Amino acid sequence: MDLPFRLAANSTYLPKAAIIRAMALIALIALPVVPAAAYAPYSDTIATLMDHIEQQKARLNLTDEQQQQVGPIMETSREQRMSILENYGFGQGSKPKLSLRNKISLAKDMKSVRESTERALAQHLTPNQMAEYKKIQEENRQRIKELTSSH
């Protein structure tokens, strides 16, 4: 059974699997693609995350056409990242203890997906939007580090 822990200043307790799913959504700035019913027990936190995603999409100031182009790119990226995490034993409440070699390999795999996603996005976003996207990604990485280092 997962041990619950507090998410930053939020008083809502969540199992680790929910946190991993939430961080993946934040990190990807993904369009909502997972049925909300799957996250019903965490609806308050998920609503907050969805608000956060909408704010980030607004920061990019995407046109309707760009939203249609970027959505599939982000979904593919999300699927690839989740597959990588599952291959290393993450998911369904598990957080495996990885060897240094596996940690390095995981980081390389995730970096490859990130770079591929950025190349695809660069074909549809303006230079200013790409700069903002990278800034958002860095903010998300810092937020995730804060969450994982304090627990």
Contact partners, residue 12, CB within 8 Å, separation at least 6: 6, 42, 44, 45
Given this model, what pLDDT does residue 131 score?
Answer: 95
Within a domain: 25: yes
The answer to whether residue 6 scores a pLDDT higher than 60 is no
Within a domain: 2: no
pLDDT mean across residues, the chain = 74
Question: Which pLDDT band holds residue 19 (cuts at 50, 70, 90)?
Answer: low
Within a domain: 74: yes
Q: What share of the chain has pLDDT > 70, as a percent?
A: 63
Within a domain: 1: no
Within a domain: 13: yes
Within a domain: 131: yes
Q: Which residue has the higher pLDDT, 22 or 49?
A: 49
Structural domain containing residue 60? 7-149
Measured CA to CA, the distance from residue 34 to residue 77 in angstroms comes to 14
Within a domain: 94: yes
Q: What share of the chain has pLDDT > 90, as a percent?
A: 28
Q: What is the pTM of this model?
A: 0.62
Q: Based on the structure, what is the number of domains in the chain?
A: 1
